[in-house]
Chains A and B, each alone.
Chain A
Amino acid sequence: MGDFNPAEVNKLIHAPIRLGIMTILNSAKKVNFIYLRKKLDVTDGNLSSHMEKLEKAGYVNVKKTFKDKKPNTVYSITEKGKKAFRIYLEHLEKILEES
């Protein structure tokens, strides 16, 4: 961490909505789409695009099921996601310590 460059901070996680998603998923085991949408106060499309980015990066797992004939999408964080989030927090700490 000695040669840490602030520009190296994980930009995928740093975006406010994705930071919220990663924080929530890191503290809960599983959350569904509706819960995230409500908590982050975003539209369906907006949340979907953020989730897609996190899924592509391998940070989240997606499970699609049905609840009363309606789709129920459940998300959970992967080991890779947990590690990335931990590193992101370490970087934040480093920035605050160095300033």
Chain B
Amino acid sequence: MNKKEAEKSFEEIKRHLIETEEDLRKTGIYAVDIQFLLGILVLVGLGLTVFLLGKTLYNLIWIVWTCILIVGFFFGYRLAKRIPLMTGVTSFAGKLIGMVWLGITISVTLVMFIVWYSGYTPYLESFIALLVGVGFFVEAFVSWKEFLIAAILCWIGALVDGFFPDVTNLVFAFLIFVTMIVPGIVVKIRFRGKEV
């Protein structure tokens, strides 16, 4: 092989790398569906939590959240399994992000059980916001940089939740709307017709 051939091969490799990287980034369009679904479920959960708190039915709150986690996990898993079938490609980064969010979901589930055992605390949302912030932080570095804003918002929200427990549900609902529902809509609009 001569230099010219080597250069040509390098160019081919570079082209394929750039194209594959772009396609892998685009698989995030489908992953946003999961976030959107979880966002809606959490907002429903918050609504029910506020309702049950008003009726002083504290013991039912953990049941609501356990149901939401089960439903979220089931449909989230189904949506995640759909991604490689629709795009034809699975990335290491996608797998990593999936595992980070799975870890966060398991952690939140365990927190729910602790809350069920020890009683409701207004700091619950603060703790969950911290965990969700970690998920967005990792995602920002392996997928879209914009998620860094979501991570920072979650951490600021966790602080606000911690210092002002009276408005915890309102702050948490705002966080979920801004970090999960809005990105879902933005990504869908931005990448309409540009799927892999």
Contact = CB atoms under 8 A, between A and B. Distances in A.
Contacts of B134: none
A9 B89 contact: no
A31 B90 contact: yes
B9 A92 contact: yes
A7 B21 CA distance: 31
B12 A20 contact: yes
A95 B3 CA distance: 6
A16 B5 CA distance: 11
A96 B10 contact: yes
B interface, size bucket = 20 to 34
Interface string A57-96: 0000000000100001010000000000000010010011
B190 interface: no
Given A20-B16, A39-B19, A29 B3 contact: no
A29 B9 contact: no
Interface stretch (B46-54, B61-69, B80-88): B80-88
B6 A29 contact: no
B150 interface: no
Nearest to A21: B16
B59 interface: no
B189 interface: no
A77 to B, nearest CB: 11
B16 A92 contact: no
B117 interface: no
Interface of A: 6-7, 9, 14, 16, 19-20, 23-24, 27-32, 34-35, 38-39, 67, 72, 74, 89, 92, 95-96, 99
For the complex of A and B, the 6 pairs showing the least CB-CB separation, nearest first, are: A35-B88, A99-B3, A23-B16, A30-B90, A32-B88, A95-B6
